Amino acid sequence: MTVMKSTLPEDARKVTGDALQSTLVDLVGLSLIGKQAHWNLVGPRFRSIHLQLDEVVTAARDFSDTVAERAAALGLPPDGRPETIASAFTLPGPKDGWVRDTEVVGVMVESLEAAITRLRERIEATEKADPVTQDLLIAITAELEKQRWMFDAENWPKDS
C-alpha cells in the first residue's frame, strides 16, 4: 500500500492530524444534529429556524469536506466512517422525537458553543505545527460563531 507523503515533520503532522480528525468528527456530527433538528422541529418559528438549520448543515458539510481534503493533502487519511463518528462524537444533540423551536435553538447554541470551544483549542495547538491548518480552523470558527450568534438571537429576551 502506498502512503501519501506529508510536507510536515512527524511531530507537527501528529498535532495537525489530531486537530483535523477531531474537527471532522465535530463537523459531521454537527451536520447530523442540524438535520435531526430540521426534520423534527415544531413551533411558531418553524420556518425561520428550519431555514437557519439548513445553513448550519450546509456549512458543516462544506467544511467537513475541506477539513478531510486538508488531512489527505498532508498524508493523513481522514476517517468519516459512521462507527468512527459515533464513537468519538461528544457534542450535545436534540432529544428524540418532535422538538419545540425554543428547544432546538437552545440545543444549537449549546452544540455550536461546544464545537467552537474545541476549535479554539485546536487553533492554539496548530499555531506552530501548521499555520495553514490553523487558518482553516480560524475560518471554520468564524462561521460557527456567526451561526451561534444567529441562533442565540432567536431566544431573546431570555426567560430567566
The pLDDT of residue 158 is: 72
The pLDDT of residue 160 is: 52
Cα dihedral: 89, 91, 96, 102 (round 10): -160
The pLDDT of residue 155 is: 83
pLDDT along the chain (160 residues), means of 10: 77 96 98 97 96 98 98 95 95 94 96 98 98 98 98 80
115 closest CA partner among 28, 15, 13: 28
Alpha-carbon distance of 53 to 50, in angstroms, equals 5
Which amino acid is it at 131? Answer: P
Backbone torsions φ then ψ of 119, nearest 5 degrees: -60, -40
The pLDDT of residue 116 is: 98
Alpha-carbon distance of 48 to 57, in angstroms, equals 14
Residue 11's CB is within 10 A of a number of other CB atoms, namely 10
Alpha-carbon distance of 143 to 146, in angstroms, equals 5
Distance spanning both ends of the chain, measured CA to CA: 59
The pLDDT of residue 159 is: 61
Alpha-carbon distance of 100 to 97, in angstroms, equals 10
The pLDDT of residue 14 is: 95
Specify the DSSP element, H or E, that contains 45: none
Whole-angstrom CA distances from 67 to 5, 38, 153 are 18, 24, 28
